[in-house]
Amino acid sequence: MDSDSSLDDRLDALVAEYADALHAGKRPSRTNFLDRVPPAARPGLERVLKMLDAGLARAPSATTPLMPGLQLDHYRLEHEIGRGGMALVWLAHDTKLRRPVALKIMRPGLALEQRHVDRFRREALAVASLKHPHIVQIHGVGETANYHWLAMEYVEGPSLATVLDALPTDRPRTAEDLARATGITALAANGRSFEAALARLLAPIADALATAHGKGMIHRDIKPSNILIHRDGRAVVADFGLAKGGDDPALSLTGEGLGTPYYMSPEQAYLTGKTVDHRTDVYSLGITLYEALTGKRPFAGHNFLEVVEAIRTTLPPSIRAIARERSPDAAAVVRRAMARDPEQRYASALELREDLEALADLRTTAARRVEGGALRRALTHLRAISSGESFEYRSAATLLGLPLLHVISGARAPGQQKRVAKGWIAVGDHAYGVLMATGSFACGGLAFGGMSIGVISGGGITAGIAAIGGVAAGLFTFAGIGLGWLSTSGIAIGHAASGGIALGKYAAGGLAYGSYVMSQQHVDPEAREFFDLAFSSIGGFLHAAFGI
């Protein structure tokens, strides 16, 4: 059990204990209860205890905890099968219809606030109206002993998350691998490829989403663990509309978010200020496809905020850069489903379903026809880079551990650490590129920036073999102020210097100082011969500079 779940359990137990003390006529000290939890959890717990004091809420008794054998209405608990920040899920037996059910029980701490209870019931009733063979069905909703519960169809089979964990990572995945992990032998029929089998499995999920969207419902939490594989071969969507509300990003008593947001859409990742509509489910299903087809999640981070920032600002590599066996059609479907701009995604889950069916039948997808070739895709990326929003792209292809291309653009968010682009070609505020770098500070073979260092560099302040800038240092420099073997600048210092003010063995300028000079006051024949030769041709330049 992780630390967050353990803390939620402790909070629930403290709420029940406090409620029992009040029921017994005692006046328990809130301070004593608050001291038993970490400081970050105290504000939420104190709010709940005050509600109990004021008689504004009721809590389950500590003497009737959830345990096997406890009966809520006509559902007898057997054992816990899942949990989250909002609810616990138990396998239960329906004593009336004599069948297993999944009983989702709202956490007591949350249930004390009526807005959470109202939303729980309202969305349960709304989901119950969705009749689709690929959506987990709702059997009933109610309250027993101050426990608010929801009875759902029990799916006796693995989740897609479990299936993906069982697939190989050391070799290309096959339809036979998917058939074994799901228990659906038909997926491997007729020599079907892995991507065709996956598309066949998940096309009905897109259809289920389209049905819900048609009734104004958005899931908001599509991910592999919310797609269950029924023993009869059906993939079904679970937790429809119950995991999160439209304006409730964090619902646990501890104030923590509901899990790590690997499958959030960019508009969800902004948390506020962005409109979230049905296309957020299209995006999340696209991430699910990406993970299944590559064996990797497209976004990573060490904590909630790092993952959210990655979703907001980065463009993941194409699935074909990771899994070369994937088809151009599969890559196009994932790219369109995961477009950062909702306007560039599938307009509906129904369109995504049609493309998944085309992928399963080895037909050309609409996504591939619409996106065109590599040039059009590159232009799409350029539009993202020039949009003004934070954007990062790191190619999956690497050489000697560095990406071939790393691009960072857009302003940093307040408090965000300095972002550095590193690659063979690097573009960003701070860029280090083996071949080329462009940015406010750039270092690379070819470097262009406000301050740049490179074999050939151009910028406000530059250093390199060939340097062009306001201030330049290098073998050959062209700048307002230049320091180099051959320098042409307003102020030039070098073996051969040419400028308004020039200092060198060979110097030419308004004011020139050196062994051989050309200036308004004096023209040295050897200096004239040197500069005439240096600027007469490439051969002359090489002879003057290197004696060759």
**CA dihedral sign of residues 43, 44, 48, 49:** negative
Residues marked as catalytic: 221
d(CA 409, CA 226): 34
Task: Name 491's Cβ contacts closer than 8 Å, sequence gap at least 6.
Answer: 480, 481, 482, 499, 500, 501
DSSP 129: T
- Rg for the chain (alpha carbons), in Å? 33
Residue type, 414: P
Task: Name 280's Cβ contacts closer than 8 Å, sequence gap at least 6.
Answer: 218, 220, 265, 267, 268, 342
Tokens, residue 359: 């992928």
Helix ranges (H only) for 260-348 are 266-269, 279-294, 304-313, 319-322, 328-337
Between the alpha carbon of residue 139 and those of residues 27, 100, 101, 102, 126, the distances in Å are 41, 11, 9, 10, 12
User: Which residues on neighbouring strands pair with residue 299, listed in sequence order?
Assistant: none
Query: 495 and 488 in contact (C-beta within 8 Å)?
Result: no
